Amino acid sequence: MDRRSFLKAGFSAGAFGAFHLASGQFSPTFAGLPAPALGRKTESEESKRILVVLRLDGGNDGLNTVLPLDQYDNLANARGNILIPASKALRLTNTVGLHPAMTGLHEAFMNGNLRIVQAVGYPNHNQSHFRSTDIWFTGSDSNQVLESGVLGRYLDGQFPNFPVGYPSAAKPHPPSIQIGSTLFTLLQGSDAGLGMAINDPSSVYALQSNGLDAAPDTPAGHELTFLRQMASQTRQYGDALKATMSAAATKSALYPATGNRLADQLKAVARLIAGGLQTRVYVVSLGGFDTHSAQVVESDTTTGKHADLLRQISVAITAFMDDLRLMGVEDRVVGITVSEFGRRILSNASFGTDHGLAAPMMLFGAPVAGGITGVNPTIPAKVTSSNNVGMQYDFRSVYASLLRDWLMVDKAECQRVLLKDFPGMDLIDANFSGRPPGTVRFKFQVRQYDRQTTFSYNLEESAPVNLTIFDLHGKTVRNVPGGTKSAGFHEAILDTRSLIAGRYFARLQVASGSQQLGFDVFE
Amino acid sequence: MDRRQFLSALLGAQPAGFGAGSGPAARDAAFASFANTALPARKAQSVGLEPYQGEWTRQEASHLLRRCLFGFSQSELDTVVGIGVSAAVDALLVSGVAPTPPLVTSAKETTIAIGSSWVDQPYNGDLSYDRSRNLQAWWMGLLLGQAPTIREKMTLFWHNHFAFEWRTVGEPHHTYFHLQKLRENALGNFKELARMITIDPAMLRYLNGNTNTKSNPNENYARELQELFTIGKGPEIAPGNYTNYTEDDVKAAAKVLTGWRDLRDNRNAEFRPNQHDTTDKTFSSAYGGTVIKGRTGAEGATEIDDLIEMIFSQTETARHLCRELYRYFVYYVVDDDVETHVVRPLADLLIGSAWEIAPVLSSLLKSAHFQDVSNRGCFIKTPLDLVVGSLRSLGSSLPTANDLPLQYQVWLTLVDQASNMQMELLEPPNVAGWPAFHQDPVYYQAWISSDTLPRRVQYTDRCLGTKGYQIGTWYLLPDLVGLANSSATDPSDLAALVNGLALRLFPIPITDSQNTYLQSVVLAGAPAYEWPNNWAAHTASPADATKKSVVETRLRNLLKAMMAMAEHQLC
């Protein structure tokens, strides 16, 4: 059940019988919300929301990406040969900086379009690329084997029985698109792979083995050429992809012409989104993060392999967000970065870093709640090769937040996808999540009848509740007994005959969130 | 549908498509752009039927097995490599024991227990659909469980040759006994088989032989017997003269064939003398002006022997069949070289062996020509090669007879998979068989359309699902680690593993850059040492589920990528 159906369920005709609906129209505005950042954040249609996953192959060095400026004394001891000078950091706060190559993302942060989650990982970390990637993709515990991926299971729920019966009139487009040669396990459903892999973003309908070597000049080569040509024209969904790619032209001038493979991929994704593809999950990737050596250039640690990669990320995401904005779809897209692990605190003598544990994740896009979740990792004074950045957040909590607050799946579905209940975080702007920070999701409605007014609310989880009725002057006229209420539907009935005719308000406080609705009492 | 209409509508005959943006026009456009518009030229063939004496490695042996089986296991391949080409072909040319008949799995069969067969039960119109489907499933079971012999491939050859459609025949007993004739004689005598099929109840129904009487002759079977089943249609050198026979020969043959009826619950046809045309039948100069003497009473039934004798006294009858065998086992281009050095010598052999098929197949499959490198991989897999062969190549777990309804359900689902790819067992599109074996100049390419090609890849993807391909409660689960172990001496060597698997799955070698690409699929951005390390970790503790899952995940991705490559569609 998605959120809208959840909300509707509490107010079906069955629950209310044949009462007529008078005033008390539901207003989607939540009281007490901060003003939309820069006035740009407006709600997007839930069914059109898109998640873009940016995979950083190899294990990104979090400590040189999001710089813990208050830990620099100890960091200088542990990784002095690769440390980015604090003076060069792009400051996000007094204690947190970004790598100087990420100027575009620095600006995105300042505009409220970047959220950093500190020290994301999972318990009992595995430092093998393969195994840790599997854990990140499948969402398993580290001692558990899962064959299906997190987003595959999510898409299983959206595309039942896939691939049987698809494409269909209702779901004409692929469940997901990965720019790459084969689908990551992330997109593996319980049975089938829930998506299609496109090798070459400049030619979305290319065949996997195309672009390699010409077929041999033999009878076999003759048939091979025929098959490749047919495949190039007849991929499933090929026509739809072709049509959407040609329906939207790139609008941003910020994509570099060459040398940024990630930008090429995101450029294709932007065109597919703006061109009307109904696909809601995209996966792109960038390799090269396994920086055991020469991560930085000795003479200038702000340059080198890692700086080049971070610059590519920043430039690509900046151009992508600019493109989405110019195409008018920025409110529909949230991107996240994932990497199988961070890197060791202690650097090595080759100006590189070895496999580590937790690392920051970045979320980008207009619907993101800008800011930083979590605190800088604590770096000990004496660092050995066994010291690592400890986990502050389980990566599955990030998935949970995205599933609940961005893709708007209900709690039960979220648990089905993640196999457990993981606490969420406030990563999505409240205008999009429909949930004030820190609150329990609820739906509040006022219905007015001849002699009484009904205040009903549906709680998704048990929460402390308080209901207050006040008049135009803010004077409390009734205080309905509150307390901790169970999940589900509740209602309070107020006999309004004793009230003077006029305009009144009802404020429902649920945990730290609240909503206020107006209603009228007539003679 | 009339066969001639069908041929002209070949492309339009695909089933309704996938929905948005993939209408028939789009499919036609792709096929029309890329399929042959003329036969490809082939380099002169220097080699003929002299026995192959070159190297005998997995490469050559797998070529033989690809063409003679529907997929093969590594141990089947190793056996063939071990015994050499001659013994390998001899071992393939064995009919083996007859299969048990199809078994009832439907509760609708109230008079027979599940696990018994319906083939000796009376006809029942209410059950004929279920029984026909049961028969299709059973055939799929035989394909999946085939012994390493050519019998199933030859049975399908004859089915395509003496094509009929179960929906038209409508009587599952007739269908079953027809199929038994094909299987029992798969390596038997062509002339004898042609005689049997001529008065086979299913065929009498299918080509209207059962309504062919002296007062109302029906020429349908008489025409197809000559045009398709035996001598073949040559160039039309004069109106109604097709070189090898004429329109008048069709009429004369139809008269010979008058009087035959199929009967319900009788596996043999019945001859009714009073409906037989007893006049003498005179044939054209194509048949040397043969006159088949009209006979009365029960004697009339023997005229068929004369007709078969006449047709099989023509060299062209042998050549026609040998061309068909060539296109089924080697390649569709039969140019002058092939005609001279392969087809005609084979035809002579067929006649010399009194129409026994096995010596012809033996000569062809052992020949230097068959093993010529230019003949490898030039065949596009039939849907059955793909459906059955993929499962057998992957070592997927097949359903057992412990649960017959489930077993038949799995088999039937696989039948339907092949049907969706335009090859339904017991239901070729028309009497000419599947276009891929005769439709000039596209031939094998006719299997591939904008609709069927994605289905093929979708199918192999499903075979490589995390639990294999699930049908009902059964999982066709591939043995990925076993496949890796049997395909490479040291599977921890990723480049060697990729090449080893390519040798199993592809008929032509992959290039270095393809190997590199496939390695990158396994590594997915991780450094190269991850594969050998994880493989070693798995082999050190094979019972560790996590370690096994890590390598299986990579193998699954690798095999999906390989089976999605165009090379995997070649045979």
User: pLDDT tens across B327-372, in order?
Assistant: 999 999 999 999 999 999 999 999 999 999 999 999 999 999 999 9
Contacts of A337 in chain B (CB under 8 A): none
* Average pLDDT estimate for A183-202: 80
pLDDT tens digits for range B98-151? 999 999 998 889 889 989 999 999 999 999 999 999 999 999 999 999 999 999
Taking 90 as the threshold, does the pLDDT of residue A255 lie above it? yes
Question: How far apart (Å, rounded) are the C-alpha atoms in residues A242 and A232?
Answer: 11
* Average pLDDT estimate for B469-497: 96
Task: Average the pLDDT over each of A1-15, A384-398, B327-341, B488-502 and give the range with the smallest value.
Answer: A1-15
Which pLDDT score is estimated for A5? 36
* Average pLDDT estimate for A64-91: 97
Host H or E run for residue B252 = helix B247-256
pLDDT tens digits for range B181-240? 999 999 999 999 999 999 999 999 999 999 999 999 999 999 999 999 999 999 999 999
Contacts of B333 in chain A (CB under 8 A): 219
- In terms of pLDDT, which residue wins out, A83 or A182? A83
Task: Average the pLDDT over each of A81-90, A127-136, A423-432 and give the range with the smallest value.
Answer: A423-432
Closest residue by Cα to residue B190 from B354, B314, B325, B433: B354
Which pLDDT score is estimated for A60? 97
Question: How far apart (Å, rounded) are the C-alpha atoms in residues B74 and A270?
Answer: 46
Please name the residue of chain A whose CA is at the shortest distance from the CA of residue B471: A191
For residues A112-146, one letter each, b for 16 or more C-beta atoms within 10 angstroms of the residue's C-beta and e for the rest, the string is bbbbbbbbbbbeebbebbbbbbbbbbbbbbeeebb
Taking 70 as the threshold, does the pLDDT of residue A132 lie above it? yes
Q: Do A239 and B22 touch (CB under 8 A)?
A: yes
Which pLDDT score is estimated for B43? 78
Which pLDDT score is estimated for A236? 67
* Average pLDDT estimate for A142-150: 92
pLDDT tens digits for range A11-49? 222 222 222 222 222 222 233 333 333 334 555 677 899
Contacts of A175 in chain B (CB under 8 A): none
Q: Give the pLDDT band of residue A345 (cuts 50, 70, 90).
A: very high
Helices (H), A216-300: 219-234, 238-247, 261-274
Q: How large a percentage of chain B has pLDDT more than 90?
A: 86
Average pLDDT over all residues of chain B: 92
Please name the residue of chain A whose CA is at the shortest distance from the CA of residue B18: A167
pLDDT tens digits for range B295-304? 999 999 999 9
Q: Give the pLDDT band of residue A323 (cuts 50, 70, 90).
A: very high
Secondary structure class of A84 (helix, strand, coil): coil
Contacts of A192 in chain B (CB under 8 A): 461-462, 465
Tokens of A396: 């599955």
Q: Give the pLDDT band of residue A234 (cuts 50, 70, 90).
A: low
Q: How large a percentage of chain B has pLDDT more than 70?
A: 95
Query: What is the crossing angle of helices B344-352 and B315-329, to 10°?
Result: 120
**Do the bridges between strand A66-68 and strand A96-98 make them parallel or antiparallel, or are there none, so unpaired?**
antiparallel
Q: How far is CA A231 from CA A182, B129, B460, B566, in A?
A: 16, 36, 15, 8
Contacts of A217 in chain B (CB under 8 A): none
DSSP A430-495: HHHHSS-TT---EEEEEEE-SSEEEEEEEESS-EEEEEEEEETTS-EEEEEEEEEE-SEEEEEEEE
Radius of gyration from C-alpha coordinates of chain A: 26
**Global ipTM:** 0.93
Question: How far apart (Å, rounded) are the C-alpha atoms in residues B344 and A452?
Answer: 100
Secondary structure class of B202 (helix, strand, coil): helix
Closest residue by Cα to residue B251 from B273, B279, B210, B288: B279
Which pLDDT score is estimated for B9? 41
Taking 50 as the threshold, does the pLDDT of residue B388 lie above it? yes
Q: Is the pTM of this model over 0.90?
A: no
Please name the residue of chain A whose CA is at the shortest distance from the CA of residue B34: A226
Taking 50 as the threshold, does the pLDDT of residue A204 lie above it? no
Taking 90 as the threshold, does the pLDDT of residue A212 lie above it? no
Please tell me which of the candidates B375, B525, B554 has its beta carbon nearest to residue A57: B525
Optimal mutation site among B63, B373, B450, interface A, most CBs of chain A within 10 A: B450
pLDDT tens digits for range A151-165? 999 999 999 988 888
Angle among Cα B263, B265, B266 to the nearest 5 degrees reads: 60
Helices (H), A279-356: 305-327
Q: Do A57 and B524 touch (CB under 8 A)?
A: yes
Optimal mutation site among B330, B553, B562, interface A, most CBs of chain A within 10 A: B553
Q: Do B444 and A236 touch (CB under 8 A)?
A: no
Q: Do B20 and A216 touch (CB under 8 A)?
A: no
Please name the residue of chain B whose CA is at the shortest distance from the CA of residue A285: B525
Task: Average the pLDDT over each of A155-159, A459-463, B249-253, B260-264 and give the range with the smallest value.
Answer: A459-463
Q: Which residues contact A339 (CB under 8 A, 6 or more apart)?
A: A55, A56, A57, A58, A59, A60, A136, A289, A359
* Average pLDDT estimate for B477-493: 96
Q: How large a percentage of chain A has pLDDT more than 90?
A: 57
Q: Give the pLDDT band of residue A309 (cuts 50, 70, 90).
A: very high
- In terms of pLDDT, which residue wins out, B450 or B509? B509
**Do the bridges between strand A176-179 and strand A196-198 make them parallel or antiparallel, or are there none, so unpaired?**
parallel
Q: What distance in Å separates residue B319's CA from the closest CA in chain A? A: 23
Task: Average the pLDDT over each of A314-323, A474-483, B493-502 and give the range with the smallest value.
Answer: A474-483
